[in-house]
Structures are given as structure tokens and as C-alpha cells.
A and B are shown apart, each in its own frame.
Chain A
Amino acid sequence: MGLGYAFREAILGLYRARGMSLVSIGTTAVSLLVFGIFLLVTLNLYGIVGQVRRRIEIEVYLSDDIDDKEALDLKRKVEAINGVKEVDYIDKEKAADEFRQAFGEGLLEAVSQNPLPASLRIKVEDTFSTSDKIKEIVKQIEKRRGIEEIEYGRQWVERLDRLTLIVTVADLVIGLVIGLSSIFVVANTVNLTILARRESIEIMKLVGATDNFIQIPFLLEGIIGGTLGGALASAILYFSYNWAVVHFPRITFAPSNLAVALMIPLGAILGGLGSRISVKRVLKSLA
């Protein structure tokens, strides 16, 4: 059988059973739309968590008895620690400036000598922003000379860790439920469209069609229908996401194009697989 013939049969098949085809394409679109929304929510959730984590800083306060040279030396050593992305040296003067900016002039000027310590402000790599990894970095800094205190909002980071875990687990569970129901719904709808043509399949066998001759157009039909459903879901997701981006400018949305486009191959796979399984089952029951 030529691919051209199979393709033509597939398109004609969609057309001949157009009512069923529309229902099937619509169901696929809705299922994938739900899944796509879930995916975009997930993407943004992780985007937000990532943003929060990028704000994590370790502040290493230096004692007054070490000079700039020693401090810069320490900075270089800290920079060499695995997981450290960036180190800023805040000398006493800069610390005072920051203080003035935050709390206004006057307060500092009331005391004769600048009481603010110099510090190293450390940013960590994204993958090192959990409390365990931060503790390890801190441990390596602690043993150095000239350090007064290290601060990184331990409780806060630990809470963020717990929250991330809960979000991840909940997301996986919800994703699994939505994913499985999408597969179930699409497979069932495709199955109905095939069962409606069970008699046709029987007749095809009767006149000497091989199983492949029967299956391939149905498979293509499933793939085409699924692709159309996926494309529909993609289009709706694309336009509504962009609408949201424009209308909620205060929210930083995660990039979405890949996730949105993913619905098309997903639809193709679901439709093709559903049709293949259903036709196989019908053929087997007729054998």
C-alpha cells in the first residue's frame, strides 16, 4: 500500500465520520489544554521558586582587626569554594553608605566611630541554594581567620526547602492524575470512533484486506486527528498565555513556547497510539 493512498484514506476517514472526528479532536484538545495549563502553572511555580532562591545570600561579617588586603585575600579564597557564584566585598565605608540609604542620615553621625563591620556578600550557584549545600559552604568559610559572624537566614532557607518539596510532590501527583486522565479520555474517544467502524473493518477483512492495509490509514487518521487536537490546544494556550502576560505586567511569566508547542506532538502520539491499540483490538476480536 502506498503512503499516498493511506494518507488519502486517513483524511477521507476523518471526513466521512466528521461528527465523530470533531468530537475526538475536541476531546483531545480539551484534555491537552488541561494538561498544558498544568504544565504552564508548574513552569511558573518553579520559575518563582528559582527567583526566590537566587536571592539567597550569605553574609560573612569580618572582624575589625583585619585590613583590606587580608579581606581581599579572604574573598579570593571564598571565591574558590565549590558552589560560590559571586563574592562582593563590602568595606566599612560601603556598609555605612548602605546603612544611610536604608535608614537615612543622622543615625550614624550620632556615633563617633563607624560601628558597622565590613563583610563579604556571597551569592551561590542555583544548584547550591538548598540549606544543606549552604551549610557546607558556610562550614568551609567558618574555619578561616578574622570572621566575626556568618548569616544567611537559615530558618528561611529551610522553610523554602520544605515548601519546594511539598510543591514538587503535589505537582507530580497532580501531573500524574491529569496526564493519566488525558491519556484515558483520548484513548477512549478514539476507541469509540474505531468501534463505530467495527463493521467496516469486518467488511474490509472479508474482501481480503491485510491487517496492515486496514491499520495504517486508521493509524494515520489517529495521528492527524491528534495533531489537530494538539494544535488547537497549543493555539488556545498560546493566545491566552500571551494575553495574561500583557494584562498582568507585574508578574514575571516563565517562557512558555516549548511547553505550548509540546501539545502538538503529544496529541499526535496520543491519537496514533489510541487508534493503533483500538484497531488492533477490533482486528483481534474479528480473527
Chain B
Amino acid sequence: MIQMYRVSKKIHNTTVLEDVNLHVGKGEFVLLVGPSGAGKSTLLRLLHFDDRPTEGWIRVGEYSSSALKDRQIPLLRRKIGIIFQDFKLLKDRNIFENVAFALRVTGTRKSLTKRKALQTLTAVGLAHRRDAMPNQLSGGEQQRVSIARALVNDPFVLLADEPLGDLDKEASSNILELLKEINHRGTTVVMATHDEDLAAHMPYRCIRIENGRIL
């Protein structure tokens, strides 16, 4: 499903990732654990093809870094959901529009866009807030919107970069449950966190990363 082979990444001549080998199977829930600055975000960015590896190759689903052309990257991103600590919602549109946007970029018909966006919002429990603007929602709610946006195109993998970082305890466990449920339904999940405690309490495989190397 996801494979990294001898991947290195240099940014401005500093090595951020070095000789990373990684395999994540279909339907797995994997935690990427490491201290701040370890390279977790960089690794996820590579999986999302926001950036290209300096060395080595990466395969995500059917897409391989050696064969993927730049103009195919948008197509790939529609099949890889991603969420962040800071949600990255479009602040000038309401919740419904934020989720619908991910469908519009794929050229989905209007009627289907409306139905799917509402379905997905319902799944994260926010259909009733569809007309609210992002800043009218709590952090936990905003994160649920961003999850809805990530899921609306039925991705085969969901990348989560520190998704609980800005949330209180209750919202955190809420989101975590949601991620587990998503995984339970068959979506592969890769979640980056610096929270050792959290990692220790979850029944999932942990991949530890430090100074750009996998331990």
C-alpha cells in the first residue's frame, strides 16, 4: 500500500530524512512517533507528494515517485486524504463549501456533490452546522470538517499530521475515535504524533523516527 525505499530528503543542504525504509499494509493504522523536528511532517509531505524525495523512491497505492508526473499529482491527492494540526480549512467559505470543494475539483456533478458532502458531514456529526463558517466552530469541530473533506473522495489512505495537537482532551479522544472508525471501515491511516503517551496506549504499530532516521 505504502512503501518507502531508501528515501532521503535534503532541504537547503540539511538532511531532514535519511535512508528511510517503510512499509504500511492495506487497512493498517500506523503511528509515526518522534520528537519535534524529527521529520514526521516531512515524511507525510513526501507521501502526499507535496515534495519529492532527494533520493530513493516512494509508492503510494498505484502511484510511484519514479513514474509520477507533476501534472498527475492533483489526481493522486484526491485519493490520499490528509489532515493537519491547524485544519487548513478555507476560511472564507462555510463548512459545506469546504467539504464540497474537494468534490468540485474532481468535476463531480452538482447533485452528487451536494449529496456526498452532506453524507460525509453527517458521518462526522456536523451536518447541522453546514452553513457555519470555520471560525464559528470549535477546534474539534473544525478538525472533523477537515476529516470530512479528506474522506469525501473515498481515499484509500488518510494521512494525519498531529491531528490532536491543538485539541483538548475530550475533543482529542473524539477525533481519535473517528479515525479508528475510519480505519475500521478499511481506510489505511498514518498518523504522526510526538505524544509518546498516546502512542503507548494505542494498540497500533508504532514507527519511531528521530533525527530523520527510523529507529
Using CB atoms and an 8 Å cutoff, list the residues of chain A in contact with chain B: 1, 5, 16-17, 197, 199-200, 202-210, 213, 287
Given A208-B102, A208-B105; A203-B88 close (CB under 8 Å): yes
Interface centre among B70, B89, B105 (most CB of A within 10 A): B105
Once bound together, how far apart are the Cα atoms of A202 and B76, in whole Å?
16
Interface centre among A199, A202, A207, A213 (most CB of B within 10 A): A207
Residues of chain B contacted by A287 (CB below 8 angstroms): 70
26 contacts between A and B (CB under 8 A): A1-B104, A1-B107, A5-B104, A16-B92, A17-B92, A200-B90, A200-B91, A203-B89, A203-B90, A204-B90, A204-B101, A204-B105, A205-B74, A207-B77, A207-B101, A207-B105, A207-B149, A208-B78, A208-B102, A208-B105, A209-B74, A209-B101, A210-B71, A210-B74, A210-B105, A213-B105
Residues of chain B contacted by A205 (CB below 8 angstroms): 74, 77
Residues of chain A contacted by B92 (CB below 8 angstroms): 16-17, 197, 200
Residues of chain A contacted by B89 (CB below 8 angstroms): 203
Whether A208 pairs with B75 at a CB distance below 8 angstroms is yes
Whether A209 pairs with B105 at a CB distance below 8 angstroms is yes
Residues of chain B contacted by A200 (CB below 8 angstroms): 90-92
Once bound together, how far apart are the Cα atoms of A280 and B174, in whole Å?
40
Whether A207 pairs with B102 at a CB distance below 8 angstroms is yes
Once bound together, how far apart are the Cα atoms of A204 and B78, in whole Å?
11
Selected from B88, B93, B106, B107, the residue in CB contact (under 8 A) with A206 is B88
B104 CB → nearest A CB, Å: 7
Interface centre among B74, B90, B91 (most CB of A within 10 A): B74
B72 CB → nearest A CB, Å: 10
Residues of chain B contacted by A17 (CB below 8 angstroms): 92
A89 CB → nearest B CB, Å: 79
Whether B90 pairs with A208 at a CB distance below 8 angstroms is no
Quick one: closest B residue to A203, CB to CB?
Answer: B88
A188 CB → nearest B CB, Å: 22
B209 CB → nearest A CB, Å: 22
Once bound together, how far apart are the Cα atoms of A221 and B50, in whole Å?
27
Whether B106 pairs with A208 at a CB distance below 8 angstroms is yes
A271 CB → nearest B CB, Å: 20
Q: Does B82 contact A (CB under 8 A)?
A: yes
Whether B77 pairs with A208 at a CB distance below 8 angstroms is yes
B40 CB → nearest A CB, Å: 17
Whether A206 pairs with B77 at a CB distance below 8 angstroms is yes
Residues of chain A contacted by B93 (CB below 8 angstroms): 16
Residues of chain A contacted by B105 (CB below 8 angstroms): 204, 207-210, 213
B124 CB → nearest A CB, Å: 16
Quick one: closest A residue to B75, CB to CB?
Answer: A208
Quick one: closest B residue to A214, CB to CB?
Answer: B105
Quick one: closest B residue to A209, CB to CB?
Answer: B105
Once bound together, how far apart are the Cα atoms of A236 and B153, in whole Å?
50
A-B contact sample (5 more), CB < 8 A, given A206-B77, A206-B88: A205-B74, A205-B77, A207-B78, A208-B74, A208-B78
Residues of chain A contacted by B107 (CB below 8 angstroms): 1
Once bound together, how far apart are the Cα atoms of A287 and B90, in whole Å?
19
Quick one: closest B residue to A1, CB to CB?
Answer: B107
The A-contacting residues of B in range 48-106, CB under 8 angstroms, are 48, 50, 70-71, 74-78, 82, 88-93, 101-102, 104-106
Residues of chain A contacted by B77 (CB below 8 angstroms): 205-208
Once bound together, how far apart are the Cα atoms of A213 and B102, in whole Å?
12
Once bound together, how far apart are the Cα atoms of A197 and B89, in whole Å?
12
Once bound together, how far apart are the Cα atoms of A154 and B107, in whole Å?
74
Once bound together, how far apart are the Cα atoms of A16 and B93, in whole Å?
8
